[in-house]
Structure 1
């Protein structure tokens, strides 16, 4: 499917991490989602009901990031991918969770985990 809807740089504070201080203090997580969707029906109808409403999806993704803490961003990425695949029109999602303030004692730009999930893989 050649069409994609992309949401990049969605920021929310979550309390995820393996260290107690990460869970206490929280930190910003950044989410990028590339949704593989057939956009032709929406283009033909010009109706938001025929596509993925990215504003509503962003709300749901933020609820996950700000919700129940997990140790690993791999787990967080999986949960977020499931939210995307719950959208009826999404056939595949490439989802990245960035943890720009990861507790690393060296200078770095970013730590991220990307998962690539298809509807038939949804659990």
Structure 2
């Protein structure tokens, strides 16, 4: 597999009950998820068979189910739960994610807050260079 190849999911909107403030966990709020999954597209490119790749439709549905059920305080924990779900379903697939809280409850702030995580790669394990700062 060539570096940079894989499946990319951008802008997956998820309603989840995550936040330090009690009303965030009670009422819920929008998050937006971007994923890069390091799967080799060559086999499915040759065979045209879903069995030879990662079924992103099924993964998206699993992430939507998870979002409806999750209750936690931090976006960091939510990101960890997403990585764990992907690992449970697909094994040690290299994953890069960015998870954004679309409307952080900070007075006067209209932007988003995000975390970035990596898993299943040299950078995620800390034994190689990661993304530049």
- TM-score (structure 1 length as normaliser): 0.88
The answer to whether the 8 Å contact 2:7/2:36 transfers is yes
| Unmatched segments (≥5 aa) in structure 1 | none
Shift of 1:12: 1.7
Of structures 1 and 2, the one with the larger relative CO (CA 8 A, separation 6+) is: 1
Give the Cα separation in 2 of the matches to 1:90 and 1:39: 16
Cα contact 1:94–1:115 (8 A) shared by 2: yes
Identify the residue that residue 97 of structure 2 maps to in structure 1. Answer: 95
Separation in 1, partners of 2:19, 2:26: 10
Return structure 1 stretches of 4+ with deviation > 6 angstroms. 119-122
CA RMSD of aligned residues (A): 2.1
For 2:128, the equivalent position in structure 1 comes to none
Match of 1:72 in 2: 74
Q: Which residues in structure 2 correspond to 1:44-59 (within 5 Å)?
A: 44-59=46-61
Normalized against structure 2, the TM-score is what? 0.82
Distance 1:119 1:85, change over 3 A: farther
Cα distance in structure 2, aligned partners of 1:68 and 1:83: 12
Q: Deviations over 1:49-93 (max 9, x none)?
A: 100111100011112222120100101101111222334376200
Question: Higher mean Cα deviation, 12-21 or 104-113?
Answer: 104-113
| Contact 1:15-1:27 within 8 A present in 2 as well | yes
Q: Which residue of structure 2 aligns with residue 19 of structure 1?
A: 21
In 2, the alpha carbon distance for the partners of 1:68 and 1:117 equals: 20
Instruction: Measure, in 2, the Cα distance between the counterparts of 1:36 and 1:73.
Output: 23
